[in-house]
Amino acid sequence: MGGTPSLQDWRDRAAKVLPAAGFGNFDPSVVIARGEGARVWDADGNEYVDYLIGSGPMMLGHGHPEVLAAVQEQVAQGFTFFANNAHGIELAEEIAVAMACAGQVRFVSTGSEADMYAMRLARAHTGREKILKFEGGYHGMSGEALMSLAPSKRVNFPQAVPDSAGIPEAVREAMLIAPFNDPDFVRGLLDEHGDEIAGVIVEPLQRLIPPEPGFLAMLREETAKRGIVLIFDEVVTGFRLAYGGGQEKYGVTPDLCTLGKVIGGGFPLAAIAGREEIMAHFDKAKAGDGFTFQIGTLSGNPVASVAGLKTMEVLKRPGAYETLRASGQRVMDAISRELGAAAIAHRVVGDPVLFDVVFTGRDVKNYRDTTDGNAEQAKTFNAVLRKHGILKPDSKFYISLALTEADLERTEAAIAAAAKALV
């Protein structure tokens, strides 16, 4: 007989038509039916407090009424135009005000595109080819980005390790890899290869790992004196660590930054922003042979633009970031309290708006420190949280403004249960 498909029905259908039964993003056994506020429900009606929040963009929660109203109003006027539209221009203006480096803005649809174009701009601007990135840093799905993101083997720096099949050897040879938070190694690498390096790309907060005091300032100083383009990948940190992103929080201004997630309010939208003389490479009339070709069918589309504008408007209101940080700190404190009481070695790593626990007894300063954590304990911890109605990525808690007292109490109870399961 017919009826509403069950969760298992959807899993079976997905296995027939999707490689590995999923979209390539999250655990394919999870099939979400709807979301509201800080909660989501799967196809069987199981309810979760949501710390995945779409991998970050839903900072206001699901179905925020003001965002919903803005989107519905725009949908009635047009989905997309492949031409300038007023809302996209307004969004670019707001980004230029918010981000210290943003003289001009160019829209794309995904963070992967934004990072790829930022590296291309660096090459166009400098006439050099090599890009320096940090082991464990995530910069999308381009060939350059998929070097030493999650290497299966440890090699000597600055050798790059491809994370995917199908990437030409020439791409690997154009990348240099450094350990995050190691200023002496970076200086040495820049001394040796500085005249070959077009750009340094870095997440101001690398995945969960905060920069050591002075590390980002060192990158700014060393790249500036060598004519190297400094790129902050702020796809995750932009409008999250602060309204002005990592640039505001850490007080360091790059040459370019990339943005995504929050600026689209849950719709596909990303951007490259930076100094006008670098962004001018997107202008054929000004750039000449340095012209950097870029188009995209949905770039700056008005539905995503109004969703992003309204999301950013809400985030600017008094108390928004204080509320985000208070909620996140409460979850961080619960993890430390419960795991500490159970005498389980751990470090809570990150910022109150974005963090997780690494099951290790030593400080976490770079990617290799995270891989030295106890993976089985992490797996058990996450599984027990899921069993108790908490949905999160394998290695993050994303905090949203929609979290309520009931959500936080449920989270604390789940954390207590997870800690007991590890004893």
DSSP string, 335-376: HHHHHHHTT---EEEEETTEEEEE--SS---SHHHHHTS-HH
pLDDT bracket for residue 2 (50, 70, 90): low
Element containing residue 323 per DSSP (H, E): helix 320-341
Cα three-residue angle 367-372-374, rounded to 5 degrees: 125
Over residues 9-20, mean pLDDT? 97
**Does residue 25 sit in helix, strand or coil?**
coil
What are 29-52's pLDDT values in tens digits? 999 999 999 999 999 999 999 999
Contact indicator for 299, 270 with CB cutoff of 8 Å: no
**Does residue 417 sit in helix, strand or coil?**
helix
- DSSP for 191-239 reads HHHGGGEEEEEE-SSBTTBPPPTTHHHHHHHHHHHHTPEEEEE-TTTBT
pLDDT at 1 over 70: no
Token pair of 149 as six digits = 């993101």
Q: Which residues pair with 137 in a beta bridge?
A: none
pLDDT value of residue 3: 82
Over residues 20-37, mean pLDDT? 97
What are 331-343's pLDDT values in tens digits? 999 999 999 999 9
The pTM assigned to this predicted structure is: 0.97
Residues acting as catalytic residues: 138, 233, 261
Integer Cα distance of 50 and 319 in angstroms: 22
Integer Cα distance of 277 and 124 in angstroms: 11
Percent of the chain with pLDDT over 90: 99
